[in-house]
Amino acid sequence: MTIEGQNDQRVVLTIAGFDPSGGAGTIVDVRTFLAFDCNPTAAITSLTFQNSEGVFGAIHESAESLRAQILPIVQEKRIAAIKTGMLPTREIILEVARLIEEANLPAPVVDPVLRSTSGYQLMEPDAIEVMLSELVPLARVITPNISEAEHLTGLTIEDEEGMRAAAQRLRELGARASLIKGGHLEWMSEQDSDQAIDVLDDEGNVTVFRGDWIDAPTVRGTGCMLSSAIAACLGKGAKLEDSVGLAKQFVADAIRKASKSGPDPALELTEFI
């Protein structure tokens, strides 16, 4: 699957946290944009302290400093797509929503980063409600994993039907589209145990993506890669369903490389389109 007729570099903006170790956040986002032949731009919401062992702390930007980062970019460049990642505070989220509306920016891909794989809380509790009420209705798609979808919807997800119900519930909460990332779920039947499942609900049109389960070590940054790849494809004119398919293929390739070269696939990202 390729995107035809889009040879010019599109400018894509990530608004997310900075991981100095390069395993997640804006560094992975930028690498992903480049792999899709997009021109990357970035605004930092939080400086995190982490490595492959876990997250050890963070210093968050203010709404004012985030605005000061983004305004010069959008005043000079035409932004084709936006991806948001770690949005740690309600003030940051409100500022992102305000800028999107004020500058008439594209509907973002919202990756709701609630906590790290190691369990560190990356979004303050009072920010979650604001994200759902103010940012999600502006989004093209929200991309939670199972744990995040359960937290956002209050539903328990135990099977594919549960994923469909959570996707629908997120749309009822204001999302235009929702992608529930299933990965390899313990509840899957023996018949489906070699598959990874994701469910996309785009304005009521449901698509179930089934891919091969890749036996590899835990990989950091796959959520960042997926949402960034979706944004890059949308920025180049692809439809959402095709963008998700391309993004899933891209992440699967990165995980396969990680299974051979170690737990940090960001070092292995290469040109994809």
pLDDT at 121: 85
Reported as a single tens digit per residue, the pLDDT across 242-272 is 999 999 999 988 888 766 655 554 445 555 5
Q: Listing from the earlier edge strand, what are the strands of the sheet with 177-181?
A: 54-60, 39-51, 11-18, 79-84, 109-110, 141-142, 177-181, 195-202, 205-212
Rounded Cα gap, residues 9 and 34, in angstroms: 10
Residue 168 domain-assigned?
yes
Domain count of the fold of the chain: 1
Q: In this structure, is residue 67 part of a structural domain?
A: yes
Residue among 43, 131, 32 nearest 89 (CA) = 131
Domain-embedded: residue 1: no
Listed in sequence order, the DSSP H helices in the chain are 25-35, 63-76, 90-102, 125-130, 146-153, 160-172, 222-235, 240-261
Instruction: Establish if 164 belongs to a structural domain.
Output: yes
In a domain, 3, yes or no: no
| 59 located within any domain | yes
Q: How distant is the alpha carbon of residue 78 from its chain centre?
A: 21
Whether 139 is covered by a domain: the verdict is yes
Residue ranges making up the domain that contains 217: 11-268
Answer whether residue 38 shows pLDDT above 90: yes
137: tokens are 């209705």
Residue predicted with more confidence, 130 or 262: 130
Residue 204, sorted as left (phi over 0), alpha (psi -120 to 50) or beta, turns out to be: left
Residue 219 resides in a domain: yes
CATH number assigned to the domain comprising residue 222: 3.40.1190.20
152-166, 193-207, 248-262, range with greatest mean pLDDT = 152-166
Mean pLDDT of 163-192: 81
What pLDDT does residue 144 have? 96
pLDDT of residue 191: 47
Tokens (6 digits) for 77: 């460049």
The predicted structure's pLDDT at residue 43: 98
Q: How far apart are the first and last CA of the chain?
A: 9
